[in-house]
A and B are shown apart, each in its own frame.
Chain A
Amino acid sequence: MIRGFALLGRRAQDALARLGRLHLFLLALLPALPAGLLRPRLVVDQLFAIGVLSMQIILVSGLFVGLVLGLQGYNILTTFGSAESLGVVVALSLVRELGPVITALLFAGRAGSAITAEIGLMKSTEQLAGMEMMAVDPLKRVVAPRFLAGFLAMPLLAALFSAIGVLGGYFIGVGLLGVDAGAYWSQIESRVDFHEDIVNGVIKSLVFGIVAIWIAVFEGFDCVPTPDGVSRATTRTVVNTSLAVLGLDFIMTALMFNV
């Protein structure tokens, strides 16, 4: 009984300590970011690893999510006799919710886990310690370029996801199910607001990008430098990023689209 409480207490303390380290890490990282900008070569390399190599999964998932939204939306909308609104359903759900959220989840799985494993492995093979020995700040040399690249890549990936999804809905709706092509686009144009929908979607993807890359670099930097520790850190990156993204999404939706 007592032991159970002790375990619970230790877990809670661990979680709180990790949360504290997460924020202290961000505080230490922020002054190092300008240094990352001074080495654009490194940022571009990371942009390749994080952005370009994630494009495949983002484009394919975006297309299929759009296709499915087209099919499902059409089935429901025809019962109300308003299949022309299919474009609005597809575009709004993608731009407001699915684009930023699914991109962030895929981003955590595809890029976040890789970054955590990479930095974790650097730590366990004492490359980070070696850098410090040579008076190279690993925050500036290793973490800052990755953080900047993730911050830049995420909104672009989310935009690609939404755009290809709208096209996917168009292929299904107009190409297969016979929705009028003009109605599809004109309904989208008249009902999707630039400030309310597009800008808020981009803000969401920016926030998710910061959270995802922040957690990924932190977990890598903070991991126990053993094979087991690196694998745990990688798992934690994916799980914590997903939870944080979904929770933040709810809060931001409540703030942005308050009815």
Chain B
Amino acid sequence: MKYDTTMRDVWVGLFVALGLAALVMLALRVSNLASLSNDAGYRVVAQFDNIGGLKVRAPIKLAGVVVGRVESISIDPATFRAEVGLRIENRYGILPKDTSAAIYTSGLLGEQYIGLLPGAEEAVLKDGDRITITQSSIVLENLIGQFLYNKAAEGEKK
């Protein structure tokens, strides 16, 4: 194979362009870079008795639509409850103050996310506000334990 210098330059240019295009495709099409909006959003806090397997960056959904991400998870040293920081996009700054948050599981084995249920109040949630009405994730062991306990109580009555 014999290539003269200009052809060679063209090929090298093509190679670099293709390689960069592949990188850009990986960044935009394959990863979540495009969907990571620059929208800083506003932060609200919610406390849960038990967050189960919730992780940082888990989605926050309103009626199934992703409206934000979990930003931080920590323990409130005063109440020993889990304190979850939620970053919600600014364009969803329409949530009423009495919105409730619950931890759900997508599918039977899927990952956990936070579902929001809007309330009825006029005032909306703002940066630094607190969601007071929360529902913890359902821990399967507790559920089974409760079920067995009820069964046993029923048996004693008879």
Contact = CB atoms under 8 A, between A and B. Distances in A.
Q: Do A and B bind each other?
A: yes
Interface of A: 44-45, 47-48, 51-52, 55, 91, 95, 152-153, 155-157, 159-160, 162-164, 166, 185, 188-194, 197-198, 201-202
Contacts of A160: 18-19, 22
Contacts, number: 86
B29 A194 contact: no
B27 interface: yes
B76 interface: no
B8 A44 contact: yes
B35 A189 contact: yes
Interface in B1-39: 3, 8-9, 11-12, 14-16, 18-20, 22-23, 25-27, 29-36
Contact of B12 (A47, A91, A190, A201): A47
Interface string B64-97: 0000000000000000000000000000000000
Given A44-B8, A160-B22, A163-B26, A193 B15 contact: no
Interface of A, helix, strand, loop or mixed by DSSP = helix
A188 B8 CA distance: 36
A163 B26 CA distance: 6
> Contact residue range for chain B?
20 to 34
Nearest to A88: B30
A51 B15 CA distance: 7
Given A156-B23, A159-B23, A194-B36, A48 B30 contact: no
A201 B23 CA distance: 11
Given A156-B20, A166-B30, 19 more contacts: A44-B9, A47-B12, A48-B11, A51-B12, A52-B14, A52-B15, A155-B23, A156-B23, A157-B19, A159-B19, A163-B25, A166-B26, A185-B29, A189-B31, A189-B34, A192-B30, A192-B32, A193-B31, A194-B36
